[in-house]
Each structure stands twice: as structure tokens, then as C-alpha cells.
Chains A and B, each alone.
Chain A
Amino acid sequence: MEKKDEKRPLLSDAEKNIQSLKEILSAQDILVYRFETADKKLCAAVYADGITDKELLGELAARPLAQANAPKTRREAEKLLLFPELKEADDAETAAFEILSGNPALLIDGIEGAIILGTKKVALRAVMEPQTAITVKGPREGFIEDVKTNMSLIRRRFKTPNLQFEMLTVGKQSGTAVCVAYLKGIADESLVKKVCERIQETEIDGVPDSSYIAQFLTDRPHSVFKQAGTTEKPDILCAKMLEGRIGILVDGSPIALTLPYMLAEDFQSAQDYFVSPVRATFSRILRLLAVLVAVFLPAMYVAAQLFRLQLLPFGLLMTISGGIRGIPLSPSLEMFFLLIVLEVLIEASIRMPKYVALALSVIGALVLGDTAVKAGLVSSPAIIIIALSGISAYTVPDLTGTVSVIRMAYLVAAGSIGIYGVILLTGLLAYYLVSSDSWGTPLLAPFSPLIRQDLRDSVYKADLFSLRKRPQVFEPKNRTRLRKKNAAQEEKEKS
């Protein structure tokens, strides 16, 4: 809803106030429920149909007012109402905004202003495990589209007064609620202030998803690398907040943002913290290697074929040369063609209805793959390389988009000037990444700049008792997050 500078005050005449609100809210789903008090004074509840709990409105607002004499002041009226969540609005614009949010405005003849009743009722899906972050061990709750529910999921995990929520409204038309969550005394409050300022700096019609807010918060909008972390799980968000990050929840989006962001956090999984450190370290190394394979393997295959056959062991060279004999396309063109096919298959599999998924996998894997090889259009090694690269990219789901773009860039570099092109592109990316940061935190931390203490939870995952301090990179005020009570203290407590 667009807010105008001039505000119309709500006077003591209920009928005129209804008129004022109807002028602003002319849509047909804005309804007026008129009733009278025991002494025949007009009362009206203006509400948006579909997002207001009418039963609650009737039981807790209309019934007590209808059974009593008209209150003289708003205080008196509020005493009659049995609502835990009551607000007041002095002008029509504020009342209209609340009505559109699902909270009816109660107008009583003879009382200036409106009483806003917290009876918002929106159809919500249940809190369930997010499809994109399934874990074998650990909590299974996921965020949903309602910001209040999401806030409650965080509040449930932090029974501390230090948990703070900064509420903002973004979007001229959508009036979307944005919540900046942080732990006072742990997170950098100046960062919270800056983030809130940045979010409010942008005037936009609507915010359909948190990715819009992520774009408000980035200094490099064209970067292929993310500038904010994302998660669909409250346990992950809470863990990150405990490290000193801040969380951003957006009404209508099940994806929460976390700031500051580091590239290394995408290689970490929630499950790493629920299994043994050795297993977690192994999984992280595996993910890192998989991403390297996803990015470099197609490019290195092309470069090795075009420019540096010595790189391949003799047996493998013979197998490959047998496989590529008679292929009409050059290695780089062949690989490029297959990468495009892979991307098309991925795009289609995301968007297609589930009941055609099986048919598409048959077409994709068998018809396109097997038949193309039999027809001599592409070679078997190329298919294997692309399949391996494609699967590997999904070991780190948050980076698949980035990996796809970079993989293509590497392929072009390798196809043009071989392995030297791969090295030059790596150098360029290194310079780009070392000079990038997310709200003051280097993107490549804790590797560059090297922060020795933070390496304990990077690719290597130390045991819980080694992670006594919060990550140094965020410079939290309160560094200690884990402390073992010493024997003396324990004895003291016992005595």
C-alpha cells in the first residue's frame, strides 16, 4: 500500500471514519461489519476478507461490545476487548495498512481513532523439512512463508533477552515485513544498523522473496558469487547467529539470509555438527574435491586433448583416442555441446511436473546419451566427464549456479589457450575473490586472509571442545561460546 505524506485523522464519527477507510480501501474484499452497543451506538469492524479470523472477531470484539454500553474512551473499549494483541491507529492510513495486513480496525462512534485487533489469519503450510536441505541426522524443521512463524522458530531456540528482532516494512505496494534477527552482545550492532539502513534505502514496489533483499544488500550485483548466505533451516540460522552473524527473514519467503557471508560456509552442512569430527572433515574434503572436479574436469579434459597429451597416462590416452575417433566435433565444441545439454536437462527437471520426470530421465540419459555415442556424435569419455562434473556440482547445492557459470568460463579458457588459460582464469578469480568481501568480512576467509583459529571449522572440522571461541573473522564482542566449568567451580557448586 502506498503511504502518502498527508494523513487523514480518524475522528469520533464512526460513519465518517468508515467512509475515509473505504476511500483508501476500495477493493471488494474489504468488508465492514456494523453492529451496535447495548445503548445503540454504532460500532464497525473494517477488515480484509480471507486474511482475518472472523470467528475471533465476533467472539472477542463484537460480542462484549454489543452486550455493554458504549465505552467513552479507547482505554475503556480496550478493557472490554479480550485481545492480547491490540494496537491503536489515529489516522486512516495507518488503520488501512493494518487492515491489509489482516488486522481489523474497530471504529466506535464517539471515540476518536481506531483500535486494531490482532486477528490475522493466513493460510499457512506446516513447518516441515525443507526439500533443499534434507539431513540424515539433526533437526528437520524448516522455515515457512510466514515471518511470524519463522521468528517463533528462532525464539524457541533462544530463551534469552539478547535475541533481538528489528522489524522493517519494505515495498510500496507489497508492504512486506522484513525481520533482522541478531543476538545482542554477540553480533556487531553497527552492522545491524547498516543493514537496516541499506534495506530501507531502496524503494521498490514489492518484495516477493528474500533474494530481492539479498540484492539490496550486495555491493557487486553482477557477481556470480553470492554476497549473502542462505538457509531454510532455523537450526542453521541459529547456529550462525551464535557465531556472530545476523539473520534476515522476509515475509513470504522460506529462505532466510545470513550476513556476513563467507564462501567456506557453503561447504559446511548442518549434519557436520551432528556426526564425528573425522567424518565431518572427510565429508567437507569430499565436497571441496567434488566442486573442483565439477569446475576443472571438463576444462582439463579439453586442454589435455588439445594441447597437452603428455598429461594423460598412456593407457588412458589410448582408450580416449579410441573413444574420440571419428567424432565430428572438436573436443571443446563437443564438451560445450554436452554442457549445454546438461544445463537444459537440469532446467527441465526443476520445472517439469513430477509425473513426467521418469520419461525425461529416460530420454535424457538413454536417448540423448547412449544414442548420441552410438551415432558417433559425441564420445563416451566426454559423456562420462560431463556426468561426473554434473553430479559433483550438486554436492554443494548452494554453489551449483556459480559452478555452472564458472565451469563454462573455464571451458572457453581451456578451449582457447589450454591449461594456461585455466591457470590465468584461476588467477583472475583469485584476485577477484581476495578483493571481495561481504559486509567487511573477506569472502575467502579464513583462508585468505588466513585466520588460524577459524581454520578449526573450515574444511577441517575440529571437535566441539576445540571450538571454544566464536569465529575471529566476525570480531564478536563476546568471544567465548563454550567453557568447561573447572573442578574448583564444580566443587563450590556442590558444597
Chain B
Amino acid sequence: MNEKALNIRQICFLFAAVLPVTRMLVYPATLSFHAKNDLVLSAFISFAAEFAVISLLLLLAKKTDLTFFELLQNTFGKFIARAVYFLFSLYFLFSALLPVLEQRGFILQVFYENVPSFLSFIPFVAVCLYACTKGLRSIGRVADLSMPVFAVCIPVLLLLAVPEADFTALLPVGATGAGNIFRSAAESMNWFSGAAYMLLFLGNFRYEKKSSVKILSAYAIGAAIVLFFLAVFYGIFSDISILQQNALAHISKYATAFTSLGRIDLLFVFALSLVLLFALCIPLQLSTHCAAQAFSIKPAFPAAAISVLVLLFILFFNQAYLEIQTLMTQKLWYVFAFFALLLPALALLLRKKEREKPNIAVNSGKKE
């Protein structure tokens, strides 16, 4: 039995199917604010940066089977390792806040018009709390469940949307200017925590032959889907893209508006909302994981504390999405860049221990 919490395939699914959904809500509209028709270029820069850091982390995973905590401990000692994990716990909590608020708008727009949003957050936090107590293993397992949902729903939504898109809206390429494109990429760092996730996964999966190729290919596929989604999104909404805050819910609405079937696309959006729920739980789960490691306690305690903090945050900032978004994307983007790109890249410098020889009897494809 594989004692590791995750396996390569689950990480692939995470990058190819779970994380892309988080980049299909407010991210497209935010990108189009500065990057306008060059939003695909801007997103490409973000993806390329994250891809590069994940490549470095996979290089590290190839060399050692230690976890990030153990690597820190080897290099700096236990105290520093705990301190860094505590900081990462705060980072993951922080990085979860904007998507949680993002979800509020999505729920209001897609699910109902007549229920106070705060009421919907309480059960959401309850689900998060439960998920946080289930550890890293559950992240991989729900990724397994998410893949078929994503694989069915995204093509349907894109197929419904593509005929409505005018791709000439994306031309001329580069007209927005390099400054705006890069600025837009920097300000969207909040949506790119994938490398930080990978950092925490170190040592929690068994590195096998061609693991790097598989994970990076999965990442590339996920990125390509998001880029295509952005292109279709801008092709449909063009100059009014910035107003389409919940791209996922809007992208196929014109295709179904005049059919006698009703908004069948909403069924696929609902299904993707499940994947979105899993994706939103990941930073909170990782925050719990880090806090539990930092304080050497059971995950239930930090899970409860984190859930309460999220609930309080929602209580106080429920109506202040724009202010929070401005703060996180325009003012604090470097915090995200530091934790999601710089620190994971620097992890390559940590003192490693030689990889143990793999046990031939262990079948990599077996259950966890």
C-alpha cells in the first residue's frame, strides 16, 4: 500500500482540472481591465512563471523525497521550519480570502437572487472545516473525482460559447503595451498559488520515472484550457469583458438564451461549481496542514480556528469585494509573488538528503 498522501496522477488532475476552474470566475474580467485584448498574453506570462517554478520544484522532488518541512529542518533547524510553515499557513489563509469572496458574487449571480449571501457562507465554511480535517490525502482524492466532471463540462460550455465568439476582438496582438500586459500579470498573482501547493506536496508523493513530464504536461493542458477560455471570453464580450465578473456563468448564456431547452448550460456550471468548491477548500486545507505542522497539533484545532477566521472575514467584508480585490491584486501582489513564486524557487537551495532506492515491489499504480 502506498503510504504517501498523493500520487502523480492526482497532482496532474489538480493542475489540469481543479485549479483552472478558479481562473474562470473573476480572473478574466480582472485581466481585461489592464491587458484588454492582450489578456491571453498576460495570462500566458503568469502561467509561464508558475510553470517554471513548478519545474524547479519537480527537479527538487527528483532529488529528494523529503517534505518541505523536513528540508527546512535539515537546513535551518526545527524552529525556523515551524516559523516558515506558520507563515505559509497565514499565506494560504490569506490567498483563500479573495476567492471565497469571489465565490459570493458567483453564487448570487448563478444560484439565487433572493437569499442573503451570508447565509450561504455558513454551510460553505462548514464544508471547508470538514475538508480541513481530512488532510492532504483528500485533496488528491477529490481531484480524482473532479477530473471527469471537468472533462465533460468544460468542453460543453466552450462548445456552446465558441460559435458566439469573434476572435478578431483579440487583434491586434500587443497593442495594449508591454507595461499593461506585465502589470496585469503581476496583479493577478492571487490566482497563481499552484507552485506553493506543489511546494507543500513535496515528499507527499512518490516521484517516479517521467513524473515531471506528466505533471508539467498536465499543467500545460490546464493552462491551455484557461488561455482558450480567456480568448473565447474576450471574443464574446470584447470591450464589456470587464463587467462580466463571473465569466464561467456568462460565457455560454447567449448560446442557450433562445433555445426551448432553458439554460441547460447552467447544469454544467453547477457541476463545475462542485469542482470550484474543492478548489476553494485547497488553500484552507493547506493552511490547516501548515498550522498543524508548525504547532505539532492535530488538524482539527487549526481547522476550527481557520474556519472561524474565514467566517469573521466574510462577516466583516461581505460587501467590500472591490476594496479587497484592489488591496490584494494592486497593493499586495508582491506578497503572493513572494510566497507562490520566489520561496518555492528558493527551495531548490535547501539542504537535501539523497533519495532512498525505490522499493521495486511497490506498484506505483496501486491504491493509496
Contact = CB atoms under 8 A, between A and B. Distances in A.
Interface of A: 307-308, 310-317, 413, 417-424, 426-428, 430-432, 434-435, 440-442, 444-445, 447-453, 472-473, 475
Interface in B126-156: 126-127, 130-131, 134-135, 137-138, 140-142, 144-145, 147
Given A418-B112, A431-B131, A313 B141 contact: no
B10 A311 contact: no
B2 to A, nearest CB: 9
Contacts, number: 123
Given A434-B138, A449-B7, A310 B131 contact: no
Nearest to B276: A423
Contacts of B140: 449
Interface stretch (B92-100, B116-124, B175-183, B231-239): B116-124
B320 interface: no
Contact of A417 (B119, B130, B135, B260): B119
B115 interface: yes
Interface of B: 1, 7, 9-10, 107, 111-115, 119-120, 123-124, 126-127, 130-131, 134-135, 137-138, 140-142, 144-145, 147, 260-263, 266-267, 270, 273-274, 277-278, 281, 363, 365-368
A308 B260 contact: no
A440 B1 contact: yes
Contacts of A432: 130
Contacts of B126: 424, 428
A308 B111 contact: yes
A424 B123 contact: yes
Contact of B142 (A317, A418, A430): A430
Contacts of A450: 9-10, 144, 147
Given A315-B260, A423-B277, A449-B141, A442 B367 contact: yes
A423 B262 contact: no
B273 A453 contact: no
B115 A417 contact: yes
A314 B270 contact: no
A431 B130 contact: yes
Contacts of B263: 310-311
Contact of A447 (B123, B145, B273): B145
A427 B115 contact: no
Contacts of A449: 7, 10, 140-141, 144, 367-368
Contacts of A313: 260-262
| Best-surrounded residue of B126, B137, B141, B367 (most CB of chain A within 10 A) | B367
A420 B366 contact: no
Given A313-B261, A418-B115, A447-B145, A427 B365 contact: no
Nearest to B141: A434
B141 A435 contact: yes
